[in-house]
Amino acid sequence: MATKRKPIHSNFGSSKLNFRPMSQESQKQDGKGTKPVPEQSSIANVLLMMVIHTCRKIVFVDTIKRVAVYCACLFLVSLIGDVMPIPRSYFSRSDNLLNQCFVKFGWGWTMIVTFPFLVLTSYTVCCGRRDKVLQHLVRLCVATASWFFWTKLFEYIEVNYGKCSAKGDYTKQQCLTNGQYWHSFHISGHAFILVYSSLILIEEARAIIGWERIRDLIREEYHIRSTSEDSRSITVLSPLGGLSESEFIILKSCYERFTPLVRTLFILMTFFSMLWDFMLIFTMLYFHNMVEKLLAGVIAIFIWFVTYRGWYTTPKLLPDLPGEGLFRYKGKEPADISPKKRRSVSSLNSSKGQLPRFMGMPLYGLRSQDGDKSDGINNGVNTLSDY
């Protein structure tokens, strides 16, 4: 009885193909031209990135414009509150919930979210160098010392340069105990804390600008180190090339572990920044007079400007600015583009081979479409040349 012949290509779907096996050197050479592709994002990650993008739009408004708005509102809104009869509301009471639970402990709430955010981000970008992390913590020490000094100075001025409404030599405590009114120049500590806390949150949150790019840098650096034959060329090929092997491993581990916490803390920082601005409005309307609030705001802005725009930007002078570490991961922030110019700019970027971006992240999925279009154009040119 005749048996069935086995098909010639019976092993077509299996791994035993009739090809010559590739050596490790050839695989390494072929891998040199293959750039690693980012992992596919889940729906939850896309929604999270939309939230992060919205928070960035809220927090990272031009700081100079924000400072100008603070000064203008502290003058105009406070002047309206002094001159015009503003209807009383729940927030005009000093015992309202937000004032008692948040504003009175405003600096504590600011440090609760800012301190771990600074530690996690600086520990990551400094690749576990604790001395560098301590240098970053100097900023919060300076801010806390400034807050303590100025609030105590405001209190000292109020207590020692005031006068009781009743005749006699009374202290502030004696005057208030007797049911009298204490007349003094009371610089608004609430306005100072709210303005200064908002500016500190904004400046310290800048470490998250370009944070998502670190993932791409790590992936590309890992590819370069695994395929490059000459280790001396790594420093030229990647921003992370200057890191040692141990520093690169620490960076990769810390970024994967700390990124969810960094994002959560950034969302909380955005919440407190919005809360401080919200409570500042009612402080301007109902509490203190215009001069006391404006002076407090100007002092807060002055301290912020001296430190974050003067002291910390000086080269070779500690501490460093937020986000500075053993490598640079922040790109140049794009300038604002008017809607009329966006179409021409996008077409210019596409003509240069750059991928379009969504929420600051490149759309890698369009790379294949661009490749298909270029292949179609090349094929058309080749067919025309045949004729």
Which residues are marked as active site?
190, 288
Beta strands in 201-260 (DSSP E): none
How far is the C-alpha of 313 from the C-alpha of 293, rounded, in Å? 29
Contacts 24+ apart (CB under 8 A), 44-48: 48/263
**Residue 28 is encoded by which pair of tokens?**
């390494």
Contact between 35 and 246 under an 8 Å Cβ cutoff? The reply is: no
Helix H, strand E, coil C: the string for 85-130 is CCCCCHHHCCCCHHHHHHHCCHHHHHHHHHHHHHHHHHHHHCCCCH
Contact between 166 and 180 under an 8 Å Cβ cutoff? The reply is: yes
How far is the C-alpha of 94 from the C-alpha of 201, rounded, in Å? 25
How far is the C-alpha of 313 from the C-alpha of 334, rounded, in Å? 21
How far is the C-alpha of 64 from the C-alpha of 195, rounded, in Å? 13
How far is the C-alpha of 62 from the C-alpha of 8, rounded, in Å? 70
**What's CA 106's distance to the chain center, in Å?**
20
